[in-house]
A and B are shown apart, each in its own frame.
Chain A
Amino acid sequence: DTEVTQTPKHLVMGMTNKKSLKCEQHMGHRAMYWYKQKAKKPPELMFVYSYEKLSINESVPSRFSPECPNSSLLNLHLHALQPEDSALYLCASSQDGGQGYYGYTFGSGTRLTVV
């Protein structure tokens, strides 16, 4: 298995809803990442988990809450989002603990629309 799987592929949520994005990999990778990508823009780093511990939070608003229950799974919990949070949310993983010695494997993303 050489993939990063993200579910759901599409999500529409209201501003008062609570939802979660899920990311899974079974490659034994020890670092996992959340990126946010707006239309026609490059991906922006949100969070980095290294060996299941949060190592980087790029000043992301608290309405986004990451969780890493185990080394294969990464969640992003969403609550009270704004329409401007609508974007493609990408998950990635890498073999090392985030040292950049290896390439990242990205999932195909969850396209989120906040109404």
Chain B
Amino acid sequence: DAKTTQPNSMESNEEEPVHLPCNHSTISGTDYIHWYRQLPSQGPEYVIHGLTSNVNNRMASLAIAEDRKSSTLILHRATLRDAAVYYCILRLYSGAGSYQLTFGKGTKLSVIP
């Protein structure tokens, strides 16, 4: 199964950009890259996802390497509310037309005031 590798933890200063890396060297051509974050005592929250091209939305940007073996989630200006565990996930084919998101260990982001 294609899997992802992320650093266990990262720190960022408030109001500075944050680049969260993810390696997925065994990704296949149809695997979408999803990012979610989870705040303490809450369910995961969708952040962004993409296939090949870089993606932007109101929360973040997703930069995907040309060979698709790595990606980077970019928070343009970290706030204290961005402190969370960030999960990089691949959409994997499970057979019979079904796909699933299987969570890895994630990166715990701390934001320093």
Report the bound CA distance from A108 to B45 in whole Å.
Answer: 9
Tell me whether B44 and A45 are in contact (CB under 8 A).
no
Nearest B residue to A90 via CB reads: B43
> Inter-chain contact count A-B, CB under 8 Å?
63
Q: How many chain A residues touch the partner (CB < 8 A)? A: 23
Shortest distance between the CB of A75 and any CB in chain B (Å)? 17
Tell me whether A106 and B43 are in contact (CB under 8 A).
yes
Please classify the interface of chain B as helix (H, G, I), strand (E, B), loop, or mixed, using the class held by over half of its residues.
Answer: strand
Q: Report B-chain residues with C-beta under 8 Å of the C-beta of A14.
A: none
Tell me whether A100 and B104 are in contact (CB under 8 A).
no
Tell me whether B99 and A42 are in contact (CB under 8 A).
no
Tell me whether A42 and B100 are in contact (CB under 8 A).
no
Q: Please give the residue numbers on chain B whose beta carbons come within 8 Å of chain A beta carbons, in ascending order.
A: 32, 34, 36, 42-46, 48-49, 87, 91, 94, 96-106
9 A-B pairs besides A48-B100, A106-B43, A108-B42 with CB distance below 8 A are A42-B87, A44-B103, A55-B96, A55-B98, A56-B98, A56-B100, A90-B44, A99-B97, A103-B34
